[in-house]
Chains A and B, each alone.
Chain A
Amino acid sequence: MIALLHRLGLGADPRPLARYLVSAAVYAISAGTAFGLLVPLLSTLLAGHTGTAARWLLPLAGTVLVGWVAHYEQEVRVLALASAWRRRLYQRLGTHVVRLPLGWFDGGRAAQVEQLFGGGVETAVRTVHLVQALLGALLTPATVFLFLLCYDPRLALTVLVTVPVVLAVFVLARRITDRTEAAHHAATRQASDRLVEFAGAQPVLRANGRGAGGRALLRDALQDQYRTARRQVFGALPGEHLGQLAIQLAFTAVLVVGLLLATGGRVDAPRIVALLVLGVHFLRPFADLAGIAGGIRACRAALVRLDAVLRTEPLPEPAAPRSHADASIELSGVDFGYPPGSPKVLTGLDLVIPAGTTTALVGPSGAGKTTVTKLIARFFDVDRGAVRIGGVDVRDIAGARLAELVSVVFQDVHLFDGTIEDNIRVGNPDATDEQIRQAARRAQVESIAARLPGGWASRVGAGGGLLSGGERQRVAIARALVKDAPIVLLDEATSALDAENEAAVHAALAELARGRTLLVIAHRLDTITGAASIAVLDGGRLVEQGTHAELVAAGGRYAALWAERECAQGWRLAAH
């Protein structure tokens, strides 16, 4: 736990932490001391020596004063500490998550990341507050115990015997709780993913409503969540009540020994009553311990989840970043499979893309075209071989520099829920309004704004859901235009742009291509016949490369694809 906290940077600034711990400890010890002073005070009072009892009030008052100062100090420190740590954690988590390889984000990560930001960090930070409660629950009884040892070793030993029993029970209970909690967590995550799917798939589910298929999936997931929740209730029972049972046994032991001492006449009545009072106060904090243990469990779980994400390695940054010579791209002997160790998507791929030219990648689905662009933009690192930009391995280019060099226009464009303008500005936060409007014009985004009821100020919905696929890609092209990077990787939208706009978008792309290295994943061969070079991929290898004319003449894979396209072009839908 300590190592965990250290890794998560709680002790990044040791001085305030130390002062907080010291003030919390002083407060806890002062409380114990006050209880300790109670024994001489009470026993003299009960024995009828009121004057002597009054004198014991002075040290008690002094202890109370020390406690006040320590308590105030502790409260102020804990706030500062928690606040600084919370900010650091959010900052670290934010920067870390965006540096994780894209592969990490495949499958079920949305709920996990959302859980961390929307509550996980806060729970983790609560650890700081628990520290003072924990110190109180441990140091106060410890101090009381020392007093008890001085006053009456027999009673002290009795309470000492009960401590290991109490602690052992806690540890046992915790194991049971942990297991059921983890199961419930997993089931909840599953159900959450199903929910997001269910909401997103409503149109399809309704149009295929006869089977109510999606609902059954969600119902099963929710039912699972319920089952694990019930199990967690039973799993938490020992944690909540075994500790209480142990404390009650301890109380019984103290009472019995106390009564034996009193009825046996070995200790006089005033003293034994005062000692029993002390015994009760010794045991009282252990009842809090159950609550604190529960709190620590929750915090620990949050800390572990946080740590797991933060310990996931981002792609390594070069120790000595190098500068690239130009905007040429070269893949040599590249092997790659995701995740590492699974069947290779690319095997021994060699590909050269000269600076300032347009190269088209074609090939059947699964040939590895998209993977090539992801490796160039370093979403992943190659398993073998190298990807070079301007002669420099991308692993030797600083991440920030690489991000500046390369623009990527995805096939499945994701827009943020903001205005169109906000979405274009993502490409270059420093762009002037004029630059943004100009890029929008060139990428034919203006007509989209004209169509939307709110014009430029219309929001595009989460993920850009209010725009069509083709419209989203046009926004993405505008984004790449304002970013103005020397290398553009473009995965052509599979969804059709309508004829009028398609021509215009291609004109914009031609402009984007000028003076840049452009790699286009082409889904329609007719759009790339003019490319300087066409690379045909199949089965993760380069099978052909050349101009359109050369490849058609060669009569190989490309020529076959071209013939198929000719045939598809002639296709007519008919109902008869």
Chain B
Amino acid sequence: MTGDLAALQRPVRVRITVAAVGQALATALSVAPMVAIVEIGRRLLAGGSTGVWPIGWLAVGLLAARLVLYLVAGLISHLADAELSRRLRLRLADHLAVLPLRWFAGGVSGRVKTTVQDDVAALHHAIAHARGELYSAIAGPAVVVCYLLWTDPLLAIVTVALVGAAQSVRMRLARRSAEPVGRIAAASAELSAASLELVHGIGVVKAFGRGEAPERLRAAATSYADAADAAQRISVRQRSLARATVAPATVLLVVTGFGTGFVALGWTAPVSVVAFALLALGLFELLTPIYAARDQRRRAHAAAGRVGDLLREQAEPATDDPVSLPAGPLSLELAAVRFGYTDEHEVLHGIDAVLEPGTLTAVVGPSGAGKSTLGHLLARFFDPTGGAIRLGGVDLREVDRAELYRRIGFLFQDVTLLRQSVRDNIALADPDATDAAVRAAAKAAAIHDRILQLPRGYDSVIGADARLSGGEAQRVSIARTVLADTPIVVLDEATAFADPESEAAVQDGLAELAAGRTLLVIAHRLHTITAADQILVLDAGRIVERGPHDALLAADGTYARLWRAQQGVAA
């Protein structure tokens, strides 16, 4: 997934390169004080002190220049990182908004959060540090080795051999740790997921968990710890050896040992040993940053891969050439509609129905018959896999979504309120709605009085100072649909029974919502829809019966059986 990282960082590529060059120059300049001491020593030992002060001040000046370079380079690269993070997150958010809803089924919040937040954050090293560290790891050692070679080729070769040996051990270790590091990443992801699950299911965990963390979390923690141990343990001996070889004391011993010998043999000038005692020590460490950040780099690549994957998820096909809907009341027609969530498992097998303007249609049937799926198709949460749904004769797939949702409103069983003011929640479909309109909608949904009891009334924020019961939340969502004021409404009848203490009030609200509109009701309680213009009886993905209540009872089929079962419960 190398390609992903490169592609993602393209917008800030120039800035990253500029910063990296600056950082490399700064690293090269950091040898200035050591070189200065060697050169000063050379002159002092030769017996003179001319030129000693200028060299000293030059070193101080170069160091200052280095600091400025570091500062500027760091600023450029980190600001580029912040900027890129923002762009990527906004891009991902925009992309999420166009992904088919099918993608969100089954709960993907954890994954979304991981990719948009953590994975984008994991790019930090790649953006703000990696290139600069790489350039520095080349420029720094190059300058040092050149200077040492110029000072004394023989001692330089000894030094490079020593550092090279340690470096080769390190490279072998790096290759070997690729697999365990991958395991750590996988274990860490599982640990995150398990902890999210713990928080969301804490009520159940407390009631059933016997005071222990859930098994999944414990297992995830254990396998994470195991993976971390394994990754470390395989390499402790070699790593320790490599480190010991290039430990400052060891390098000192080697260069002074060889240096003294070479001096005794007359091969080396004593002052050259000073250069090595100063510069050879840091050589290995100059290469370290690219290794120290190895994990981060891998993580960045993996993260970029996940960000890329999410961006590559197929967006919902846009309506290329939207057909505008005719004005006025429109009929809704289902023609041989087939649908399955997966290819193998078809849920609806050819549904035909027409909803005339201003009529009430009810869909009934045992659970699993496909009632809710039908509602979801009308909302275009999914598109039919066969047949078509037409509004005013226009296939829904050819209608611009915004226009579609101006004509059809939905009230499903699952209530979703956003963590914002109650007012904004009601005005979700039309943020410019007047306060009067919002209040009117709330009154129609029988929730106005309850809202006024909240600490800040309509400005109370859901989840902060507005804590609503399930039924109250349901009524806020009814108000939302009332405000949207669409000529067609698809309604889950269970909504009417969400808040039994004020059932009658909610029902009044729904009656108001229903008045003068085309209504499709997914019904669970048959007696509420006996007045429907037509009742569609769905069983196992097919319409098995249709007609008004009385006719269906007389036919004595599936509907009649459902009706009797329900009367039995009520009795």
Contact = CB atoms under 8 A, between A and B. Distances in A.
A389 interface: no
B529 interface: yes
B221 to A, nearest CB: 4
B86 interface: yes
A461 B203 contact: no
B41 A494 contact: no
A414 B197 CA distance: 9
Interface stretch (A145-153, A159-167, A225-233, A508-516): A225-233
B211 A403 contact: yes
Contacts of A35: 248, 252
Contact of A469 (B222, B381, B413): B413
B194 A259 contact: no
A532 interface: no
B524 A499 contact: yes
A79 B106 contact: no
B207 A407 contact: yes
Contact of B118 (A118, A281, A525, A565): A118
| Contact size range, B | 35 or more
A215 B418 CA distance: 11
A576 interface: yes
5 contacts: A211-B430, A403-B209, A494-B499, A500-B367, A506-B569
Contacts of B359: 575
A379 to B, nearest CB: 6
Interface in A373-418: 377, 379, 399-400, 403-404, 406-408, 410-417
Given A523-B500, A564-B504, A565-B500, A202 B212 contact: no
A68 B532 CA distance: 89
B478 interface: no
B256 A222 contact: no
A176 B60 CA distance: 28
B196 A572 contact: no
A210 B109 CA distance: 23
B79 A233 contact: yes
B342 to A, nearest CB: 6
Contacts of A564: 503-504
Contact of B113 (A72, A196, A471, A575): A196
B33 to A, nearest CB: 6
A273 B63 contact: no
A244 B225 CA distance: 37
A572 B277 contact: no
Contact of B511 (A198, A459, A483, A573): A573
B319 interface: no
Contact of A567 (B214, B358, B504): B504
B413 A468 contact: yes
Nearest to A245: B67
Contact of A364 (B47, B192, B501): B501
A435 interface: no
Contacts of B412: 203
A45 interface: yes
B510 interface: yes
Interface in A125-149: none
Contacts of A196: 109-110, 112-113
Nearest to B356: A575
A7 interface: no
B117 A197 contact: no
Interface stretch (B9-17, B90-98, B138-146, B153-161): B90-98
B183 interface: no
A573 B521 contact: yes
B260 A57 contact: yes
Interface string B38-62: 0011001101010011001001100
Interface in B410-448: 410, 412-414, 416, 418-420, 424, 427-431
Interface stretch (B171-179, B300-308, B469-477): B469-477
A501 B192 contact: no
B-side binding surface: helix, strand, loop or mixed?
helix
A50 B225 contact: no
Given A262-B52, A269-B45, A248 B531 contact: no
A411 B470 contact: yes
A117 B569 contact: no
Contacts of A561: 501
Contacts of B107: 200, 417, 461-463, 465
Nearest to A274: B274
B336 interface: no
Contacts of B379: 203, 206-207
B106 A34 contact: no
A233 B228 contact: no
Contacts, number: 530
A114 interface: yes
Given A71-B244, A211-B430, A233 B529 contact: no
A211 to B, nearest CB: 4
Contact of A110 (B199, B206, B402, B406): B199
B80 to A, nearest CB: 10
B531 A403 contact: no
B270 interface: yes
Q: Which of B60, B107, B362 has the most CB of A within 10 A?
A: B107
A229 B37 contact: no
Interface stretch (A97-105, A300-308, A329-337, A348-356): A97-105
A201 B502 contact: no
| Contact size range, A | 35 or more
Nearest to B508: A571
A423 to B, nearest CB: 9
A3 B247 CA distance: 33
Contacts of B503: 564-565, 568, 571
Contact of A466 (B105, B358, B360): B105
Given A237-B75, A571-B496, A195 B211 contact: no
A531 interface: no
Given A54-B260, A417-B197, A31 B247 contact: yes
B327 interface: no
B71 A105 contact: no
Nearest to B316: A206
A366 B524 contact: no
B212 A98 contact: yes
A349 B502 CA distance: 24
A222 B86 contact: yes
B117 A219 contact: no
A134 B217 CA distance: 34
A529 to B, nearest CB: 11
B112 A114 contact: no
B56 A256 contact: yes
Given A35-B252, A98-B211, A407-B207, A280 B500 contact: no
Interface stretch (A10-18, A83-91, A318-326, A541-549): A83-91
B515 to A, nearest CB: 8
B259 interface: yes
B248 A34 contact: yes
Contacts of A48: 270
Contact of A199 (B109, B372, B463, B472): B109
Nearest to B419: A197
A158 interface: no
B113 A277 contact: no
Given A41-B260, A214-B428, A561-B501, 7 more contacts: A76-B240, A207-B405, A209-B402, A263-B52, A281-B248, A364-B502, A499-B562
B438 to A, nearest CB: 13
A403 B206 contact: yes
Contact of B117 (A191, A215, A233): A191
Nearest to A402: B211
A574 interface: yes
Interface string B517-532: 1110100111111111
B202 interface: yes
B383 interface: no
A204 B416 contact: yes
B401 interface: yes
Given A110-B199, A196-B113, A277-B277, A97 B213 contact: yes
B523 to A, nearest CB: 8
